Amino acid sequence: MTNALSLCSVSKSFGGFKALDSVDFSVAPGEVHALLGENGAGKSTLMNIACGLYAPDEGHVELEGRAVTIAGARDAAAKGIGMVHQHFKLVPAFTVLENILLFNPGRAPAEIAREALALADRMGFEIDLDARVGTLGVSEQQRLEILKVLVAGARIIILDEPTAVLGEDDGRALMALVRGLADSGSAVILVTHKLHEALYHSDRITVMRQGRRIAETLPAEMDPGRLTTLIVGEHIVEEPEPSPHVGGARIRLNQVRLAGDGGRKGLVDVSFEVKDGEIYGIAGVSGNGQNELAEVLMGLGLPTGGSIEIAGHGDVTGAGPAHRRQNGLACIPVDRYRHGLAGSIGVADNFAVNGALAGRYGSWLWFNRRKARAEARAAIETFDVQGVRSLGQKAALLSGGNAQKLVIAREFQGAPQVVLAHSPSRGLDVRAGAAVHERLRAARDRGAAVILISEDLDEILLLSDRIGVLAGGRLVAEFKAPANRSEIGAAMVTHD
């Protein structure tokens, strides 16, 4: 059978950095081909070449066995290649139909509408063409993205980490949809971090590492362990390590309340304390008060009742972020590009903000850039932040794992006494996630009180010395490590 799309010995460099090194990749009609690899392994670059955003330095692209040049995204669409990006390319203020029209200019709306409905029907979902996209849920938006490229006549469909934004049920439904696409004759490329998607929902698996294709294999020949080893190039197994020494209470929340508004649950009488040298895990199903608790701890939202105390600094209930951070609080926020880093300014300037506010680099009238840069360089070394080509490089250009390491490097400067880590390994590959965990353990072992909020129960069980369960904005249960997984799971779905 002729491959629908082949990338033949493709290489690509960015300013001396070899992102792709002679990579071969192909996908056939009716096939789901999973593409795995760590952040920065070259998956995105490879797919950007497939959909015409980048031109290869060496090698070429073949469609149905014929060498072609793809001149940009529109040309790719005209040649039947459809890319569904991780971050949707939709106009929220437009209706579903208008968004489809925008992607298929020059065709009659009535014809598009007919075709879209027929395609949706064949794929087995319903869609309201007149609904505003802004009012749709994430999974509906994703279906719209897929529909959009199908209407454009895509026969090769690239899905970039499609389930990263979906919940478990929606993720399963999407995998069924993906299979349906392949059964109807499309060639599907599934870029993913999730091993089980590759193992159970694909026909072929390609693993990339450091710009090279490491393996092309079949799901039947793989298991999660072997796949992980292929992806990271070494055997990474994390084991729980109990705290070496637990001290006195460092931070204490007392009946903390936060009024909910709209769909938000708020917090109801949340009380717990975290001791020096201890990781306190907060487990719970997403949307049960985790974001609110993080905001209250960071000082971004003021509680409507109760109190927060930090030992040695007294009551900080009404204090803003600046005051709390001066008193030994460090935060690894859940959205590192929103709360953690300023993307359009340099790596060193992102690192320096804590020190600058604390007066390390001079008074209000003087900013000692030289010192800030020297310290940034040292911290980047210490915390193993990779991919920093210059200290002035924009932070947005760092991969997820390295961006997170940069946040940690900054937050751990000055040995904080209290660390808040909110889903610190979300979106990171296995190796980067393990490195983050190592940092949290190290902070604990030197005596910091660590609060770990995570929706990933495995992460909670792996790291925590004690575990609190958040459900409906209440702290419904507490467990000591080693804790029973199913008991925690039962507490997570408690209804009052």
CB of 177 to another protein, least distance (A): 26
Report the alpha-carbon angle 167-169-174, nearest 5.
90
Nearer to another protein, 282 or 319 (CB): 319
Helix%, strand%, coil% for the chain, nearest 5:
35, 25, 40
> What is the Cα–Cα distance from 432 to 423, expressed in whole angstroms?
13
Contacts of 366 (CB under 8 A, 6+ apart): none
CB of 451 to another protein, least distance (A): 16
Nearer to another protein, 42 or 52 (CB): 52
Of 211, 191, 166, the C-alpha closest to 51 is: 191
Give me the sign of the Cα torsion angle 294, 295, 299, 305. negative
Report the alpha-carbon angle 123-129-130, nearest 5.
160
Residue 240 to residues 433, 438, 459, 464, 482, Cα–Cα distance (Å): 14, 11, 10, 8, 9
Phi, psi of 208, rounded to the nearest 5 degrees:
-115, 150
Nearer to another protein, 329 or 435 (CB): 329
Nearer to another protein, 166 or 356 (CB): 356
Cross-strand pairs, 254: 307
Binding site for another protein (CB under 8 A): 14-15, 52-55, 60, 67-69, 71-75, 78, 298, 300, 320-326, 331, 333, 338-345, 349, 352-354, 356-357, 361-367, 369, 389, 393-394, 397
Nearer to another protein, 95 or 393 (CB): 393
Encoded tokens for 31: 């096939």
The DSSP code for 452 is E
State whether residue 262 is helix, strand or coil.
Answer: coil
Cross-strand pairs, 346: 394
> What is the Cα–Cα distance from 129 to 111, expressed in whole angstroms?
13
Q: Tell me the chain's radius of gyration from C-alpha atoms.
A: 25
> What is the Cα–Cα distance from 447 to 243, expressed in whole angstroms?
9
Nearer to another protein, 106 or 263 (CB): 106
CB of 494 to another protein, least distance (A): 31
Tell me if 418 sits within 8 A of 277, measured CB to CB: no
CB of 178 to another protein, least distance (A): 25
Nearer to another protein, 97 or 348 (CB): 348
Nearer to another protein, 357 or 415 (CB): 357
- Bridge pairing between strands 329-332 and 314-315: unpaired
> What is the Cα–Cα distance from 101 to 109, expressed in whole angstroms?
7
Nearer to another protein, 340 or 401 (CB): 340
